[in-house]
Amino acid sequence: MVFRRTVTNVGTGHSKYKPKVRSSKVFKIMVNPKVLRFKDVGETMSILVTMKEKMKQSGILSGVLGWSYGCHNVRSPIVAHKLQ
């Protein structure tokens, strides 16, 4: 599954955020671009979040997509439900 999302810079101008993804071994989350470079506060960018799962049965999959820039950290939970 691929999702397009819009993110907004709420930190300082000229900030660079790097993604930190946490998920289980059966649920892989990838983000593109690998780094968000903002020039201004309030600037928006589009990202693509790709999720791949390796479960053989139905269930709930979860993970966390985080972005870090110095003392600023933003986290978004990701939850998906696999149906058989």
* Structural domains of the chain ordered from first start: 2-82 (2.60.40.2310)
Residues near 56 by beta carbon (within 8 Å), at least 6 away in sequence: none
Tens of pLDDT along 13-42? 888 888 888 887 777 888 999 999 999 999
Q: Who wins on pLDDT, 84 or 67?
A: 67
- Could you tell me the end-to-end alpha-carbon distance of the chain, in angstroms, rounded to an integer? 16
